Amino acid sequence: MLGVAAQNIGIVCQLEGEAARQSGDEITARQRFDEAEQSLQEGLKLKIEQGNKPLEATACGQLSQVYLLMDALDQAEEYAHRAREIHESLGLKEVHMEYHTLAAIARARGDEAQAAQWEARRDEVRTELARRARGGAATDASLSQ
């Protein structure tokens, strides 16, 4: 539960940072993003110690978003890929969020072609999820491609 609490605190700090940035207060935004990073790292450490791969992936995905907000693109990409690899290996539908983040990272780097590739993968998963929601059958392997 401590890992989940740390992640929740990190998410609140991230949201506060985003709100501060929207209101033009970049100093407060950076402070909140730094706090989010610290809390999320703490939560990630606990999830790794517990061996909970799905929650580890969630924590890595959240960290990638915070690093993207901090314009730390290498770190954002590293954590997005960690989350993606876990989600894909477990066949989890949440992988579309990592594809979305990886597209945003590519776009921040000015690589529109790579962004389009990640978005295409994201859209494939979303289409499959929508098809499943309508009652269509599918294999878990189709989500991890």
CATH number, position 114: 1.25.40.10
pLDDT at 144: 43
Predicted TM-score (pTM) of the model is 0.85
pLDDT at 92: 87
Q: Kindly write down the DSSP assignment for every residue of 32-98, as one continuous string.
A: HHHHHHHHHHHHHHHHHHHT-HHHHHHHHHHHHHHHHHTT-HHHHHHHHHHHHHHHHHHT-TTHHHH
Placement of tokens 């999820």 in the chain: 129
Instruction: Find, among 37, 42, 32, 85, the residue nearest to 62 by Cα.
Output: 37
User: Hey, what are 62's tokens?
Assistant: 């959240």
pLDDT at 137: 56
pLDDT at 4: 80
Decide if 83 contacts 64 (C-beta within 8 A): yes
pLDDT at 142: 46
How many domains does the structure of the chain reveal?
1
Per-residue pLDDT of the chain (145 residues; tens, 9 = 90+): 777 888 899 999 999 999 999 999 999 999 999 999 999 999 999 999 999 999 999 999 999 999 999 999 999 999 999 999 999 999 888 899 999 999 999 999 999 999 999 999 999 988 988 888 888 654 444 454 4
Decide if 86 contacts 53 (C-beta within 8 A): yes
Beta-carbon-side half-sphere exposure of residue 104 (alpha carbons within 13 Å): 19
Q: Which residue segment(s) compose the domain that 107 sits in?
A: 2-144
Decide if 44 contacts 63 (C-beta within 8 A): yes
